Amino acid sequence: MWQIDHKSQQSLYQQIVQLVESKATTGELLPGEKLPSERELAKKLKVNRSTIVRAFDELASRGIIIRKRGSGTIINDGEWDIQIFEGINWRHYLQKETLSTEGTFREEIYSRLAEKNNHVIDGYSSELPIELIPELKIPSMNWRDILEEDLHQENLGYIELRKSLQHLMAQEFSYQMLLDEILITEGAQQAIFYIIHALLKKDDIVAIETPSFFYSLPVFSNAGVKTVGVPVDREGIQLKVLEKKFQQFPVKMLFVNPSYQNPTGTSLTLEKRKELVALCKKYQVAIVEDDVFGFLKFSGTKSVPRLKELSEENVIYIGSLTKILGSTIQIGWVNAPKRVLEQMIKVRERWEFSLSIFPQMLATMGLKDQSFTTQLSHLRDVLEKRKKLLVSLLTKELSEEFSFYVPEGGYYIWLTLLQPELSTSDWKALLETELLVMPSFLLGKDKQSMRINYARLSEEDCYRVVEILKQLCVTWRSKNEGVITIK
C-alpha cells in the first residue's frame, strides 16, 4: 500500500524515499519491477508531482531506482550501483541465483555440459580444453620428499615456486619481482578474497569494470563491501566515467583486468595505463591488477608494461597459472609490498586456510620443464589460429548482425547483437541450440552480448557456431516482429 503521514514532521519527499526503499529492501518491490508514474503516485499519495520528482531524484542518485525514458521507472535490477540500505537487504537475497533467471540459466548450462553430448559446442566454460594444456613431465618423487618440503615451507609459499614465478615474470614481461613480495595462493579468486578481507572493511566502496567476471563473484557482498561499476569499451575501462565515480563516491580500491579483459578481450594501451595509474594516484585509490591472461599474448602484439611496473607501491598484482596449466593446479600469486602480504597471511591464518605443498611442487616442476617455454608458445599459436578463423567467419557471415572486438590475447571473444533489443527471457532460445555461451546478463547489466571461449572450438566447431548464431538471429528477429517461425 502506498501511504505516507501528512501530519509527520518529516518532509513528504523523505517519507516517499523511505517508503520506496523499504518496499525494495523487504522484497515487496522486486528488482526490475515498475513503479507507478510520477502523476499516478502523486495522486495516490496526495502530494504535488514536484515532490515525487524530488524523491525519485534522490532514489536514482542512490542507485535504488532506474529511470528509463519512454519506459518509466523501475527498481534497480543490477548489482553494480551502490547499495545504501540499512538493516537486512532482502533485495540481496532475492537476487540469489536460486530464485533468479540467471541462476536457472546457469543450471541449465551446467546440466547440458554434464550430459557429455559430443554434439554440444562448449563456448561457455572458462578453461582450456585438455588437449591444449601443455604436456609437462613430472620427475619421480616419494611421499617423504613431499612431507619434507612441507615442513620447510615459508608463510609466503614454496620458495622454489616463487623463484620459478620470479623467473617467468622476468622472461615474459622483463619485470623483476622480489621474492619476499610474492605470496602464493590457491588461484586468483583466493587472492581476491585475501585482499578484500585484509585491506577493506564493511561498507567500503570499490570500483569494478562492467561487464566483468567480478560481477558474479559473491566475495564482495559477503564481506559487506559495496561495488560501483565502470563501463568498458573497445579501449578498456572508461577513464572519464571512472573519475566521475571517484568524485561521487569514496572509492577505496579499483579492481581492473587491463590485459585481455574477461569477458570483452580488450586491453589498455600504454597511454591509458599511465592515465589510469595517475588518476588513481590523484584520488588515492589502490589498484588491484588482475592479470590471469597475461601470458597468452599473440604474436605481433605490442608489449606494454603491467600496471604494477608503472606504479609498484600503489598496485597489487594478481597472477595465475590456472589459465595455462588447467584448473586442477589451482595456483595463483600476489605481488605486493611486504606489509600488505603480512596482512593477507593473517587473513589466511584467521580463516584457517591451508597452503598445500603438493600443487606448488607440481607447478614448480612444470615451470622448470625445459619444454615449458616452447609449449607455451605453441599454445599461443593455436589460440591465435582459432581466433583468426572464427573472426574471419564472423566478419564474412555476421558483420551486420554483431559487432565485436578482435582480441590480441587470451581466449575470449565478445559479440554484441546490434538488433533487436533482447530481454533476459530471449536468451532461452539459446538453450534450445547446440551452442553454449556466456550471456552478458551473467556478467553485468547488458543483455545484448555474449562471451565465447574460442579455445574450445575446433575448426568444424567454428563453422557450426556461425550457422547456429545465424539461426538464432532469425529466431530473435521473428520474435521481436511477432512472427512465429516453423522449423
Residues 293 and 332 occupy one common structural domain: yes
Q: What is the pLDDT of residue 157?
A: 96
- pLDDT band, residue 299 (cuts 50/70/90): very high
Average pLDDT over residues 273-292: 97
Say yes or no: 272 and 416 in one domain. Answer: no
pLDDT of residue 81: 45
Q: State whether 335 and 403 are in the same domain.
A: no
CATH of the domain at 441: 3.90.1150.10
Q: How many structural domains compose the chain?
A: 3
Reported as a pLDDT band with limits 50, 70 and 90, residue 402 is very high
The verdict on 231 and 350 lying in the same domain is: yes
Grid coordinates of 248: 561521487
Instruction: Tell whether the model's pLDDT for residue 77 goes beyond 60.
Output: yes
- Based on the fold, state whether residues 51 and 34 are members of the same structural domain: yes
pLDDT bucket at 181, cuts 50 / 70 / 90: very high
Q: Are residues 341 and 391 in the same domain?
A: no
- CA distances (Å), origin 331, targets 15, 54, 189: 52, 51, 10
Q: Does residue 390 fall inside a structural domain?
A: yes
Higher pLDDT, 447 or 392: 392
Same domain, 161 and 185: yes
Amino acid at 422: L
Name the residue range of residue 186's domain: 142-368
Taking the C-alpha atoms of residue 38 and residue 51, their distance in angstroms, rounded to an integer, is: 9
Q: Do 283 and 230 have their domain in common?
A: yes
**Together in a domain, 360 and 382:** no
Confidence at residue 96, expressed as pLDDT on a 0 to 100 scale = 46
Q: 182, 111, 175: which is closest to 360 by C-alpha? A: 182
Higher-confidence residue: 425 or 422? 422
Task: Please compute the mean of the pLDDT values over residues 172-195 and round it to a whole number.
Answer: 96
| pLDDT tens sequence across 334-384 | 999 999 999 999 999 999 898 899 999 999 999 999 999 999 999 999 999
Tell whether pTM > 0.85. no
pLDDT band with cut points at 50, 70 and 90 for residue 487? very low
Which of the listed residues 301, 335, 368 is the one where a domain comes to its end? 368
Average pLDDT, the chain: 89
Q: Which pLDDT band, with edges at 50, 70 and 90, does 298 fall under?
A: very high
Instruction: Determine what percent of the chain falls in helix, strand and coil, rounding each to the nearest 5.
Output: 45, 15, 40
* Burial class of 442 by CB neighbour count within 10 A (0 to 12, 13 to 18, 19+): buried
CATH number at residue 178: 3.40.640.10
More confident residue, 86 or 186: 186
257 pLDDT more than 70:
yes
User: How confident is the model over 392-411, as a mean pLDDT?
Assistant: 96
User: Would you state the pLDDT for residue 99?
Assistant: 41
So what's the pLDDT on residue 417? 95
Tens-digit pLDDT profile for residues 207-254: 999 999 888 788 898 889 999 999 999 999 999 999 999 999 999 999
Where is pLDDT greater, at 1 or 265?
Answer: 265
Strand duo 72-75 + 65-68: pairing: antiparallel
Q: What confidence score (pLDDT) does residue 33 get?
A: 79
Q: Which three cell numbers stand for residue 56?
A: 525519485
**Which triple of cell numbers denotes residue 54?**
524530488
pLDDT classification of 89: cutoffs 50, 70, 90: low
> Is residue 414 located within the same domain as residue 271?
no
166 and 70 in a common domain: no
pLDDT value at residue 82: 45
Does residue 355 share a domain with residue 379?
A: no
Share of the chain above pLDDT 70, in %: 92
pLDDT score recorded for residue 85: 46
Q: Is 485 inside a domain boundary?
A: no
Q: Phi/psi of residue 128, each to 5°?
A: -70, 150
CA 104 – CA 113 distance, rounded (Å): 14
* 2-44 pLDDT per residue, tens: 889 888 888 898 899 889 887 776 657 766 778 999 999 999 9
Whole-number Cα distances in Å, 250 to 82, 206, 226: 11, 9, 11
Beta strand spans in 309-405 (E): 315-320, 332-335, 402-404
Q: CATH number of the domain that 44 lies in?
A: 1.10.10.10
Grid cell listed for 43: 495522486
Cis peptide before 420 (omega within 30 of 0): yes
| Grid cell in block for residue 340 | 600488505
Q: Which three cell numbers stand for residue 275?
A: 592515465
Kindly tell me if the per-residue pLDDT of 485 is higher than 60.
no
